[in-house]
Structure 1
Amino acid sequence: MKVFTTTSELKEFLKSGRIAAMKEGKELQVGLVPTMGYLHEGHASLLRKARAQNDLVVLSIFVNPIQFGPNEDLDRYPRDAERDLALAEHEGVDAVFMPSVEEMYPQPIKTKVAVEELTSKLCGASRPGHFDGVTTVVSKLFHIVAPNRAYFGQKDAQQVAVVAQMVKDLNFDLEIIPCPIVRENDGLALSSRNVYLSAEERQAALILSRSLKQLEADVYGGKEVTVLEARQQLTQKIESEPLAEIDYVEIAAFPSLTALQLTNSFNSELEVFGAILVAVAVKFGTTRLIDNVLLTGKGEAIHV
């Protein structure tokens, strides 16, 4: 496994690999897994998917400052480079890109990539500018690595939708591969931020997966509720946990994030759109967690 801290070294490594493949009459297939580090089993699942589908796997580890707001957790975002590299090597990663902020942004950045509409709702409403930071750094990584495929966890479903829209609109020559949420045995969605939770807050946070799972069971079980009733019921269940402070509970079509008709039945809207995202963002103490469930009319995989 090679570790690179500069763009030029990584690009030279990839260029050499592509030239070698061409000499053998092949096209080198490259998979990219962009992360902010502090890796867990969720990230490992992305790496395994990338390993299975590509000749060469690149993992990027970069805590991107321009996607954090002024009152967010940039300075205390968890970091553990030694553990990250051990996990990467275990999962068969070929190259790890660990640039400094100065390497990624050698001067104050004057250009940003912004996706409209999709970023004004859900997390975008409470974290203004966040997705501009995401799409900007991801577009830079796509240009640096030029992957055939890039892998993103479905836990941040809005991010998946936003990046896929950017790729489509700007004609990036790669495929976005969404990967399922990985959960602890008790249902808590894996997140680097889970480390912030106290024991009491972590137990309280289980209300998210339990509430989403119940709604999923109701919908697939044929229970007739309107979209508004589904949202109200989900909200009430989460609010039943005293430590939960709701940021949002939203139900929207996926991947367009189109608003649904609140008075229509959930199942009828599912038939219209084919896939519906039920997403929540909730604070437990000072820790903001997101979770979601993606419902499909036929229970099939969604392509973004």
Structure 2
Amino acid sequence: MKNVAVIGAGTMGNGIAHTFAQSGFKVQLIDINEDSLKKGMETISRNLDRMVTKEKITEAEKTETINNITTTTDVSAGVKNVGLVVEAATENVDLKLKIFKQLDKECHDNTILATNTSSISITQIAAVTARPDKVIGMHFMNPVPIMKLVEIIRGYNTSDEVTNIIMKLSKTLGKVPTEVNDYPGFVANRILMPMINESIETLYNGVAGVQEIDTVMKLGMAHPMGPLQLADFIGLDVCLSILNVMYDGFKNPKYAPCPLLVNMVRAGKLGVKSGEGFYNYSESRKAEKVANQFV
């Protein structure tokens, strides 16, 4: 289990790779796009530099962490000799099912297959493999190197042995694993996304402006970040995807995405990653400056 693979070099994938590598694991970071791998490694290096500056790690520890990560665009080669694969691709059910079908064929029979999905059914993903007992959810929080929580989601067939292994493994990463069952949105997003959606509805209905809504939640409810700013950091497209999964799963109108959210995603205003969402991040790399507060 000291050898792991991470599928996807985006925000969550490179954060997961960083976390494993910093804890002494040998990591294969896999993405079909070479540019994504390059950007992912640049992000890991920048985040490690900040940790060195803040004296959280030494320069030698930074170098060791980087050396623990190997990048590849070859999925078959990347997962050949690993005990665990953590999939962190785009939150799209068809894509995830395709990936897990391939992983099931390419990986050793004893390899545990985990997904970082924030809402998609673990049971559904496991059903496309011949090892449903070895499929589990590991839902890390963003930014991964900083946030302590990992939601551990058991599918219908996930074994006790695999659950215990992943719980213990998460603790070795310095995380606090919390076991939950496989229902749409799990715990974190089942509670968080309706709050974000209601905040967007509040804006949509003209009750208050963006900054006013966020100020109320920060100062009145002691949230470190307002829900609209948080939505920008998560990605409005990701928020919409999660709400759609929950709406489809529960058939309850309280999970129906606000029309304003739908239109913003259609317009390409996705939050930090597009430079604009509820806030504008395009001026003087404002997004990066804000993000640096958390690393």
When the two structures are superposed, what TM-score results if normalisation uses the length of structure 1?
Answer: 0.35
Structure with more relative contact order (C-alpha pairs < 8 Å, separation 6 or more): 1
- Higher strand fraction: Structure 1 or Structure 2? 1
- Higher helix fraction: Structure 1 or Structure 2? 2
